[in-house]
A and B are shown apart, each in its own frame.
Chain A
Amino acid sequence: MIKKREMVDGAAAIARGALDAGCNYYAGYPITPASGILTHMLRELPKVGGIGFQGEDEISSLGHCIGAAMTGATVFTATSGPGLSLYSENLGLAIMMEVPIVIAISQRLGPSTGAATASAQGDIQFMRWGTTGGYPMIVLAPTNISECYHLTKRAFQLAKRFRTPVFLATDKDTVMTTESVSVNDMKNAPDWPKIPNGGVGKELDPYQIDGEIHHYTGSSHNEEGHITKDPDIIAELNERLRTKIESNLNELSLVKNDLQHGADTLILSYGISARSMEAAVKEIRDGGDQVSSITIYSLWPVPEKAIQESLVGIKRIIVPELNHGQYLREIERLVNRDVELIGVNRVDTILLTPDEIMRAYHGS
C-alpha cells in the first residue's frame, strides 16, 4: 500500500486548523516563533473572503479581534510571551464581555526578550493567570503537528461554546520544525470525546443591522449590558463567569493515558516534552520495567479527575517540563504526601532528552 506523508510545520497545521474551523478574521503582530502563523493567516484569509490584519502592536491586534468577534467574526490570533504580556488587559475584557477567541502561544525561553528561537514551557501559568480577577482559562497543548491541527479546531469549538478566550499552548519547536506526518492523521481527528453543540450559556448575538440592539461592556454589568454597582448582580455575573467553565470540567478534560498494570511510577507531561516522555517510556519498557504515562492536552482547567484516576498504585510521579516546575505545582496539590514527586526541568534552550527522563526514572 502506498503511504502518504505530508511535510509540514506546526504553523501551517495550526493555520489550516483555524481555517477549517471557520476562522474568518485574524489580527496579530509579528514575533518569533509565532510569525509563521501570522504569515499563513494573512496570506490565506483574503482568498476565502476573510480578513487578515497586522496590527500596530499586540494590544491593537487583540482589540481588533475582539471588535470583529462581537460583530460575528470567528477570530484568531497568535503570539509569544512578550506579546502575551501585552494581551493581558484585553484578555480580561474578553472574559468579561464573553468574547469567543482563539489565541495560539508559541512559547520561547525566558523572561523578557529571552531566547527568541528556543522552545520553552515557561508561560503555562502565565496563560492561566495572565489577567486580573483569576477567572478560569481554557488552555490546550498539542504535542505534535497533527494534534496542532486538531486541537486548533477544538479550541474554536470551545471558544464558541463557552464564549471565552481559549489558548493553544505550543512552543518554538512545535511551530517551526518541519516534520513528516501521515496524511491520514492530519485528516482524521484522534478518538477524542465530541464537544456538545450549542452554548453553555447564551450564545453570542453579534452586532447586526436589523438585529437586536446590544450593549456589550467590560464593566460589571446587568442584563442590558450597562454598568452596575449592585452587589447581587455583580456576584451573579462573576460567579457565572467562573462556573460556566468550572462546572463543565469533564467535558473540558482531555488526556492520553498510557497506563501499565503494576507500574508504580507515572510520568506526566504535555506539549513538546510529552514526546521526550514517550520516547523514554518506550525505552524503559524495552528494558523490562512497567511504567505508566499520561499526556495532558487540556492543561487548564487541570484535568484533576483524569489525573487522579491514573494514580492507582502509583508511588512516584515524574513531571518533565521546559520550565522550573510549573505544572508540578498543580500535581503536588492533587496527590498524597507519600507520593514522591520528581521534576525534570530544563531552561537552557535544549529540549528535554529522553535520557534525562530515564535517569530520573532510574534514580541516577
Chain B
Amino acid sequence: MDPKHLDTYIAKENLPYAFCPGCSHGKILGALSDSLKRQNLDPSEVVIVTDIGCVGLSDKYFITHAFHGLHGRAITYASGIKMQNPDLNVVVLIGDGGCGIGGHHLLNAARLNSDINVLVFNNFNFGMTGGQHSVTTPLDSITATTALGSIDAPMDIAGTAQVNGGGFIARATAFDKDLPELIEKSMRHDGFSLIDIWELCTAYYVPRNDFGRKDMMVYMDGMEMASGILQETNRPSFQTSYKNIQEKASVQNPISGLELETIFEHSLTKPIRIVLAGAAGQKVVSAGNLLASAATLSGLWVSRRADFPITIQTGFSVAEIVISPEPVLYSGIVKPDVVAIIASEGKSKVSRLTLAMDDSGVIYHSDGLGNIESEAQISPLDFPEDVQQDIRKNLSALTAAFLTKKLNMFPFEALKEASRQIQKPKITEINLGIFEYFED
C-alpha cells in the first residue's frame, strides 16, 4: 500500500466510536490519525499500544498494528516492541488511571529515554470503571470515591516525565488545533516522548464537577502547569545507546565453560563429603574450587556448593564439596566426612554439621578457635613448620594442600595443575609457592 493515498488511519468500518457523546477520546484519536498522515507512514510501520480503560478501546479504530495488554503496563510492552524493532513507530495510548497504576514504568521509561511516544488521555478520573478518583483528580473534586471532595494533591504527569529526563515532553488539550503537529514532532524525536493531553470525561467528571473546557483552562493556569513543549533534549535514546553496547560487545568472545580433562588417576573408592568453613575474604570458595577441579582432573565427580551471607563481604564463608568415583547424586551434606575450620565465623556456621559427625569423621581446625563440640576426631591443621609467615593470608589454599596430602584422594600434582588451569596467573604463582612447602 502506498501511504500517500491514505486520507485517514482510522478503520472507518469500525466507527462510530464506542465513547460517550462529547467524550474527548475520539478527538485525540483523530489528531493521531492526522499526525500519521502528516508523516506519511505505512500502517505497518506503526504499532499502537493501548492501555486499559475507555482509552483502551481505541486499538480497533486504527488500521495500523495494535497491541492491547494490561492496565498500567502499556509502556513496558511498547518499550519491548521498540527494542526488538527500532524501525517501528510505537505509540502508547494511556489514561490518567494507567499513569497512576503504572507510574513506575512511566518514570523509568522517561529515565531510560526509551524511544516510544506516550499520549496521555488525561480526563481526571477513571472513566471505564465509573468515574473514580485518579492520580490527576484536582483537589476538592467530586468523584465516585471522593464524595466529599478529593483531599490529595494531583500528580503532574508531564512534570514527572520531565524531571526523570524524558526527551520530549509537552502538555496540551484535546481541543488544540495544532495537536497533530505536536504529535508528529514528538514521534520524530529520538527518545522518550510524552504529551499529557487534558480532556473531558462527559459521563462522570464533567457533570459531577460542573467542569467544562473553559474551567479546564482556568484550572491549568491556576496550577501553573504550562502547556506546549516543556522539554526537548538531544540525549540519545536507550535503543540508540544499546546499539553501541552491541557493537562493543560483538568483539568479545562468547563465554565458554571450564573444561577439564582427566589426566591423573584417583584412589577414592567411595564418596567423600568435605566442608571448608571460614570467613569472608579468606577465599574459602576458591579453595573449594581448587579441590573440586583437582578431583575432576583425576577422573572423579564433584559438586561444590557455596554458602555465604547475602552481605557477601562479612561473616561466614562455607564451601561444601562432594567428591565421588561415581557422578554425585546427593549434593547436600548433613554428616560430613571431613570438616576444616579456619575461622570462628565458619565454626559457628557449621556447628550443626560438626555435631552430627561421629568418630568416623575428622575435624581439622586452625589455632585459637576454642573447643569444638563433636564426636568426630579433632585435630589441628598442622602445616609444615616453615610456612608460618604465609598462613594468615593464604589459609584456604594451605588447607586445600593440607587436605590433599592427608586425604589421599588424588595426586598432589593434580592440585597444582588445577591451580594452573583455573586460577589467574598471579594467584597460581602464589599458590604454587605455597604448595611447595608440602612437597616431600
Contact = CB atoms under 8 A, between A and B. Distances in A.
B10 to A, nearest CB: 14
A282 B324 CA distance: 15
Contact of B257 (A6, A68, A215, A275): A6
Given A6-B259, A226-B60, A207 B80 contact: no
Contacts of A32: 310
A346 B259 CA distance: 35
A217 interface: yes
B69 interface: yes
A68 B84 contact: yes
Contact of A180 (B60, B108, B296): B296
A71 B85 contact: yes
B254 A44 contact: yes
Contacts of B69: 63, 66, 90, 93, 97, 217-218
B85 A5 contact: no
Contacts of A6: 257-260
A275 B79 contact: no
Interface residues of A, number: 78
Interface in B218-267: 242, 245-246, 248-250, 252-255, 257-263
A227 B252 CA distance: 47
Contacts of A147: none
A40 interface: yes
A116 B310 contact: yes
Of listed B81, B105, B262, residue having the most chain A CB within 10 A: B81
B430 interface: no
Contacts of B78: 67
A32 B309 CA distance: 12
A178 interface: yes
B329 A279 contact: yes
A304 interface: no
Interface string A93-126: 1000100000000000000000011000000000
A361 to B, nearest CB: 15
Contacts of A350: 332, 334
A319 to B, nearest CB: 17
Interface stretch (B38-46, B183-191, B380-388): B38-46
Contacts of A216: 66-68
A268 to B, nearest CB: 16
A63 B76 CA distance: 5
Nearest to B331: A177
Contact of B80 (A65, A93, A97, A215): A65
Contacts of B400: none
A118 to B, nearest CB: 10
Contact of B65 (A8, A180, A213, A224): A213
B329 A275 contact: yes
Contact of B84 (A63, A72, A276): A72
A239 interface: no
B84 A89 contact: no
B396 interface: no
A326 to B, nearest CB: 20
A257 interface: no
A53 interface: yes
B337 interface: no
B79 A2 contact: no
A5 B260 contact: yes
A57 interface: yes
B81 A70 contact: yes
Nearest to B18: A227
Of listed A12, A73, A93, A226, residue having the most chain B CB within 10 A: A226
B372 interface: no
B259 A5 contact: yes
Contacts of B80: 25, 27, 63-69, 71, 73
B330 A71 contact: no
B365 interface: no
Interface of A: 2-8, 12, 16, 19, 25, 27, 32, 40, 43-44, 46-49, 51, 53, 55-57, 59-60, 63-73, 89-90, 93, 97, 116-117, 173, 176-180, 183, 186, 207-219, 224-227, 275-276, 278-279, 282, 350-351, 353-354
Interface of B: 14, 42-45, 47, 49, 57, 59-60, 63-70, 73, 76-85, 87-88, 104-105, 108, 242, 245-246, 248-250, 252-255, 257-263, 289, 292-293, 295-296, 299-307, 310, 328-332, 334, 422
27 contacts: A2-B262, A5-B261, A6-B260, A47-B249, A47-B253, A51-B83, A51-B246, A63-B73, A67-B81, A70-B67, A70-B77, A97-B69, A117-B307, A177-B331, A178-B303, A179-B303, A179-B328, A180-B292, A207-B44, A207-B81, A214-B65, A215-B60, A215-B66, A217-B59, A350-B332, A353-B332, A353-B334
